[in-house]
Chain A
Amino acid sequence: MDLTIEAEGLRKSYGTHTALAGVDLAVPAGTVLGLLGPNGAGKTTMVRILSTLLTPDGGSARVCGYDVVRKPREVRRRVGLTGQYAAVDELLTGRENLVLIGVLHHLGRRAARTRADELLERFQLTDAAERAARTYSGGMRRRLDLAASLVADPPVLVLDEPTTGLDVTNRRTLWAMVREQVAKGTTVLLTTQYLEEADHLAGRILVLDGGKVIAEGTSDELKRKVGDEHLQIRVREAAQRAAAVAALTAVTTHRPVLDDDGVSLRLPMGDGLTGLAAAAAALAAARVDVESFASCAPTLDDVFLNLTGRSSAEQSEAAA
């Protein structure tokens, strides 16, 4: 397998705070790896090391075969970075921002202009090309930032929380643009706090917590770790829950799990549609007044809760 990004035992501390405590990763060419974790998990440190902005204290990393510490210039030629803050020059226009990056990549002024126009078109910024980036909305800025990291058409794209702070529409637009880039064969390393984002974009996910990898796999593999699909049932009155449990126990070998709210219960679902139908029929026969009845796949939030004992929101608070 051809690995575009590889790292072994990366370590980094700031004073007494350990940001990375030995992280390995491997990203095959043309794939997307998502680094998922709360604030303070070490995601940004990882990104800064792989894009040569930071030197690790220990371990090693290579991008396209070049060591990030010994051959930073070669790595920089091949990595497009979109940082956590939209790093665009606010006083320059959208076009000027992209032309500047192009000239700095030694494309030559003429080719830099052509490339800028292509990217402005592709990222739906042509109408705003002559306006100062200061006047751009949050979504436009991120698009300009992403365009800036693609000026030299790098084989590797590193995205640090690319959609943090964006609304749903802008987030989806950006996702589509990232997927388009992946379709062209670009290898992507992406950090995110949004489980949905990792689920959506990344083929493989690395869950980071406290500078360590606590889980790794595809989105489905991670979900499977937490368990299969389950039935989420909510009765209208607390008194009816016991009846529901009795009815369900008669048709399945699984034990229902009672929630704290007194009216909800969860039933692991092993038998697919048949089990679903049997459960529904049993509840109807017992005349249980069911408020909601849904089949739920575990979310990555469940994964987080399961792996760390805390939800991703609690993790963020603890780190802040």
Chain B
Amino acid sequence: MTTLTVETSALVGRHLRHLGRVPMRLLGVTVMPVAYVVIFGYLFGSVIEVPDGGYREFLMAGIFAQMMLTNLQHTALGVVDDLGNGIDDRFRSLPIAGLAVPLARTVADLTRVVIACVAMAVVGYAMGWRTHTGPAQVLAGFGLLLLLGFAASWIGVLLGLRLRSAETVSAVAFLVIMPMTFLSNAFIPLRGLPDWLRTACEWNPLSAVVAACRELFGNPGTTGDALPMRHPVAASLLLTVALLLISATLAAHTYRAAARGR
């Protein structure tokens, strides 16, 4: 194993132990997302009509994507926590790779959203969600979602390192997550919206990921006129990879540069 692997896996182990020790954190990745599936499925499902499969099939890709996006806040709060209690200084004082600390956190948080995905998929299945494609496509859909979750996590590292306070992180994360999820096709079909709003929603990167997942799962609701909606898989892959590269580069740079500040 390379030194970076040894260091990162040791630190991932630390985060996974945390997950097991704080029951509230496990609730965050099981009960909360499941509650979303149930509440949205029944609540919106009763008023929104989606042809060819119904709202619950439509909803699942959207709710998975929303879960991935909220990873941003979780990661950022974790980073702020470590900055505040001195453990970050401890790690910085060790002869380890600068990348190991943020990489371990994002990898651990990815594991966390995998657990959430499984919980949501099980409940979704019980509520009637089915995929209508082959296993390779379904796995590709989840792969795309996890890529988004990983990118969101790196944005979270960047926010945490820059903002350094839990209150500010929560406020900023809300300002990013809320419009991204609700101005998208995650929970509602876009065809009923006024043209300008629909165009804005169709160009939202989250919409591309959601549309791509619907296509890969064989779920309904992938229609749209904007370019990302016509080629959702390619568009979402391009967008998430670009997002990941940019945010990870900036976050890693910010982590290393912290010594020049305070």
Contacts and interface: CB of A to CB of B under 8 A. Distances in A.
Interface of A: 14, 51-55, 73-74, 76-77, 79, 81, 83-92, 96, 100-101, 103-106, 132, 148-149
A166 to B, nearest CB: 16
A16 to B, nearest CB: 14
A91 B18 contact: yes
B14 A86 contact: no
Interface in B176-233: none
Given A91-B18, A92-B17, A132-B21, A101 B87 contact: no
A52 B93 contact: yes
Contact of A88 (B3, B7, B87, B260): B87
Given A54-B259, A73-B95, A87-B90, A104 B11 contact: yes
B162 interface: no
Contacts, number: 69
Given A86-B86, A104-B91, 17 more contacts: A52-B92, A52-B93, A55-B259, A76-B94, A76-B95, A83-B89, A85-B85, A87-B85, A88-B87, A89-B14, A92-B17, A96-B17, A100-B10, A104-B10, A106-B3, A106-B6, A149-B93
Interface of B: 3, 6-7, 10-11, 13-14, 17-18, 21-22, 85-87, 89-96, 259-260, 262
Residue from A14, A77, A81 with most neighbouring chain B CB atoms (10 Å): A81
Contacts of B3: 106
A54 B85 CA distance: 17
A83 B14 contact: no
A96 B91 CA distance: 15
Contacts of A92: 14, 17
Contact of A91 (B13, B21, B96, B259): B21
30 contacts: A14-B262, A51-B93, A52-B259, A53-B259, A76-B93, A81-B89, A81-B90, A83-B86, A83-B89, A83-B90, A84-B86, A85-B85, A85-B86, A86-B86, A87-B87, A87-B89, A87-B90, A90-B85, A91-B21, A96-B14, A96-B17, A100-B11, A100-B14, A101-B94, A104-B10, A104-B11, A105-B94, A132-B21, A148-B90, A149-B93
Nearest to A57: B260
Given A87-B86, A103-B6, A81 B93 contact: yes
Contacts of B87: 87-89
Contacts of A54: 259, 262
Given A83-B86, A148-B90, A105 B259 contact: no
A186 B30 CA distance: 49
Contacts of B259: 52-55
Contacts of B92: 52-53
Residue from A53, A81, A101, A105 with most neighbouring chain B CB atoms (10 Å): A53
A55 B260 contact: yes
Contacts of A86: 86
A291 to B, nearest CB: 48
Contacts of B96: 104
Contacts of B22: 91
A158 to B, nearest CB: 9
Given A92-B17, A100-B14, A53 B94 contact: no
Contacts of A55: 259-260
Chain A to chain B: the 6 pairs with minimum beta-carbon distance, closest first: A87-B86, A87-B90, A85-B86, A76-B95, A81-B93, A103-B10
A87 B93 CA distance: 11
A86 B93 CA distance: 14
B108 to A, nearest CB: 13
Nearest to B100: A104
Contacts of B21: 91, 132
Contacts of B11: 100, 104
A201 to B, nearest CB: 21
Contacts of A106: 3, 6
B66 to A, nearest CB: 28
Contacts of A14: 262
A164 to B, nearest CB: 13
Nearest to B257: A55
Given A55-B259, A81-B93, A91 B17 contact: yes
